[in-house]
C-alpha cells in the first residue's frame, strides 16, 4: 500500500469516527465554550486556526440560516492594535421538553 493511500484511508477513518471537525465547527465550538463575547483574534489563539481562516469561517456562520452565532453588542479593545473589535456570541437556542 502506498503512503498516499494509507494517509487517505486514515483520514477517511478519522473523519468517519467523528473526531475530525471542520474549521467552521471548531470555530463554532470555541464560541460556545467561551461563555462570554469572544473576538476573532481570541478564536485564532484558542484554536490555532489562522486568523484569515477564522474570519472566513465566522462570516460563514453569520450567514447561516438559522443563525448559530451573532455579533455581540459589546466590543473589546485588541491588546495588539489597541483598536476596538467586534465580539461574537452564540444565538440562544430554545430547549424543547
Return the top range by mean pLDDT from 2-11, 14-23, 58-67.
58-67
| CATH number corresponding to 22-90 | 1.10.10.10
List CB contacts of 61: < 8 A, sequence separation 6 or more: 24, 27, 28, 67, 68, 69
Per-residue model confidence as pLDDT tens digits over 48-68: 999 999 999 999 999 999 999
pTM of the model: 0.74
Query: In the block, which residue shows the cell 444565538?
Result: 91
Cα-flanking dihedrals φ and ψ of residue 49, to 5°? -80, 140
26 neighbors 49 (Cβ within 8 angstroms): yes
Residue 94 has pLDDT above 60, yes or no: no
Q: What count of other Cβ atoms lies within 10 Å of the Cβ of residue 70? A: 13
Amino acid at each position: 500500500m502506498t503512503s498516499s493511500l494509507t494517509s487517505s484511508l486514515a483520514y477517511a477513518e478519522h473523519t468517519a469516527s467523528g473526531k475530525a471537525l471542520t474549521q467552521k465547527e471548531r470555530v463554532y465550538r470555541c464560541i460556545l465554550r467561551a461563555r462570554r463575547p469572544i473576538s476573532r483574534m481570541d478564536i485564532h489563539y484558542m484554536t490555532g486556526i489562522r486568523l484569515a481562516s477564522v474570519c472566513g469561517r465566522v462570516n460563514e456562520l453569520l450567514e447561516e440560516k438559522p443563525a448559530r452565532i451573532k455579533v455581540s453588542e459589546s466590543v473589546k479593545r485588541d491588546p495588539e492594535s489597541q483598536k476596538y473589535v467586534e465580539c461574537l456570541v452564540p444565538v440562544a437556542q430554545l430547549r424543547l421538553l
